[in-house]
Structure 1
């Protein structure tokens, strides 16, 4: 008993216990619904069928995207079969890896342990983040590589960060949006090892053009011309405009924040692409606060503002100039920046509540913060098939 008690105390004092709990719960949530639906939904129709072709040796290149995402989905099918688990396995794994990278980003930005956990909790149980990691689409691979690039940069592993940017771009070209965040942040805050940093960042496009022919060869059996392939991807993407096509679920970038709408992925069980209300309602005030902190040279404020600017604000002029059709899930790479802002703000409020000389008022502040965290989790459960899973579980228990 004494040995068991000692081990328990060691576990309770483990620095990463909170992070481990978040990852375990998130993994359990994903596994509980990974087979729902037992059918292809939304863009899985394209990417799973692409992956099936790759596995059967009859793969074709998707003109609008680089090949890495499809190859990852194909790897899941090769390992676990042509079923829901095989389709979505690597999406789940990358989603969990993204949560880990995000926690490490928070720590590298100087946030204390409590703030890191609160901020990571917000991201891990945010609806759009959770849903994209639950289905076989490309975005979760792209975002996780971006998060890895940010963390590696913050720990000054510049060369490997450049590789991570390349990998993000080999999934979707929007992975290149990580580069301005890192470059401007380095210019404003570091300026160390300029030659090494410059070469490391320049290696990202170099690795891209070097690697894409061989990844394409895994699909079609021969290497492609990287310049022609990149031109094709950009050209096809440029043709997908609001004036040329009609889609009732398409939306402009400003709509994602000002008038967000729900984009259904599947009706029963229900999967929807929408930022959790507990996050979406606070985007504007949270980012105004980050901009204020950035003006005071606060590390979290600066990084969050640059992240938000490069992955979201650039879409506004791009949409106006190019008329490119866009969807609410394009906001997914930006969710981390907003969670960073809200997590920091809430942790600061909780710190003030603990330090308040008025005991009652301090407890009320803390209770309000904990209620908001509970509300955030409840929103996820209600917006996803998790709600149906727990209801059916309780119904089964009641009849036995």
Structure 2
């Protein structure tokens, strides 16, 4: 039998390279319970305040209710379907809260809380899988829990928190997929199986993350960048596993399976995405639902027309997105996001009462400054470590962080209207970049350097926590004196 394996001498090397999946220790579960509980408690406190809709809740909270009543977005005044340019999944998720708790501010915000906390837990699990450290996993979860942008968006009915959830879920399943495939390769090697045509079984985690990233696109199309990145990452992982297994011509041997799986993942993701439009398919009233028949004077749809109509819908929505240039006072450019150059005022009430003569209450969509201003140096350091250590984990985190920001630069020449909260899907990976650098400081072999690294690690996390506490009043619409509000506008008019 031809195996393509280099010989028994490589077996030990294959075992070291491929390894086996680890199991979460008890300390991880305790840390997850504690940090998840903290994140949940922070987000549930006074969730219904401010009452009524804030910012774009005026769209998504109402559209979620429309989905419950009509299956599609609706204009009550005209009794017709509404033309919208975002897929429906995020609004369906908001609608679950409205169905359970009513059409009120708590009802349309509660699902954002739950998926926001779930994303923190998933990120901790992914961090442990990557770093095999409960301390680093806990740091990742705590930093996201204490981030102002994540906090604000996980307390309101906007789509971005749901997009981030599906992206983080897909990332975690991608990490599990890598572990599973490598473990199965190791089993083939140890059993003396055919490494040129290995039987690796059904990659359920791969199917899972393909579905998850398709659902991310079903919230917002910007999930497409993560689909492309994760397909490329899976290809690199598969080729790396083939090489680690000791296959002589590993590139040629893995090329066809990699290409095949690439197309399969795209197909699975597309299938998942199309299925989020089920309400539109089942409705006779959806916008453009019978476009082809109506424009060609046909009495009814042909068999293929529902997909033709959906493609036409997407064509017009794409044209809208690529020509959206209406000025907005809180718009910002991608180069400003990591600098906190232009946060978004979500809510503002200068007429509240407090202990001072003049008071105000605001919800400002602003990342915790100590955390966000550390992202750029962390990315620079991560790049250096990725090169110096030749560490695939560093490259994966770096690519995932950049995938949520860099693609937006291509829209700048057209002056497309963009907002700071578009960076939310990148935020978990930016935090992982910080955690990776902190881990490198902790891992210093010299005792004095390790002590210094521990001080930097603890001091940094404490500084983020204190900074979050300081800005908490303007994250949560707490009534404070006007002078106290002004003190928190560190960049002056850029934040006001």
TM range (shorter): 0.7 to 0.9
For the aligned residue pairs, the C-alpha RMSD in angstroms reads: 2.6
- Give the number of the structure whose residues are more often helix, by fraction: 1
Partners of 2:432 and 2:141 lie apart in 1 by 8
CA contact (8 A) 1:162 1:204 kept: yes
Partners of 2:366 and 2:87 lie apart in 1 by 26
Partners of 1:247 and 1:42 lie apart in 2 by 12
Partners of 1:323 and 1:347 lie apart in 2 by 39
Query: What's 2:209 paired with?
Result: 161
Query: What's 2:266 paired with?
Result: 202
Query: What's 1:238 paired with?
Result: 322
Partners of 1:220 and 1:30 lie apart in 2 by 39
Query: What's 2:51 paired with?
Result: 38
**CA distance 1:152–1:65, shift in 2 (3 Å):** same
Query: What's 2:63 paired with?
Result: 50
**CA distance 1:340–1:62, shift in 2 (3 Å):** farther
Query: What's 1:177 paired with?
Result: 225
Unaligned runs of 5+ in 2: 1-24, 75-81, 178-204, 242-256, 290-305, 350-360, 481-496
Moved more, 300-309 or 166-175: 300-309
Q: Does 1:134 align with 2:215?
A: no
The partner residue of 2:469 within 381, 384, 388 is 381
Q: Does 1:306 align with 2:406?
A: no
Q: Secondary structure at the match of 2:397?
A: helix
Unaligned runs of 5+ in 1: 1-11, 392-400
Moved more, 324-333 or 286-295: 286-295
Q: Secondary structure at the match of 2:417?
A: coil
Query: What's 2:169 paired with?
Result: 148
Query: What's 2:199 paired with?
Result: none
Query: What's 1:247 paired with?
Result: 328
Moved more, 158-167 or 207-216: 207-216
Quote how far apart the aligned CAs of 1:257 are.
2.7
Pair member with larger Rg? 2
- Deviations along 1:335-385, whole A, 9 cap, x unmatched? 112100111222332344xx6544xx8656534432321221222233334
Quote how far apart the aligned CAs of 1:117 are.
1.2
Quote how far apart the aligned CAs of 1:170 are.
0.8
Q: Does 1:257 align with 2:338?
A: yes
Quote how far apart the aligned CAs of 1:113 are.
1.7
**CA distance 1:215–1:56, shift in 2 (3 Å):** closer
CA contact (8 A) 1:162 1:202 kept: yes
Partners of 1:213 and 1:37 lie apart in 2 by 32
Query: What's 1:75 paired with?
Result: 96
Q: Does 1:88 align with 2:109?
A: yes
Quote how far apart the aligned CAs of 1:195 are.
5.5
Query: What's 2:425 paired with?
Result: 333
Partners of 2:149 and 2:273 lie apart in 1 by 31
CA contact (8 A) 1:87 1:136 kept: yes
CA contact (8 A) 1:311 1:334 kept: yes
Q: Does 1:316 align with 2:409?
A: yes
The partner residue of 1:343 within 419, 435, 444 is 435
Q: Secondary structure at the match of 2:218?
A: helix
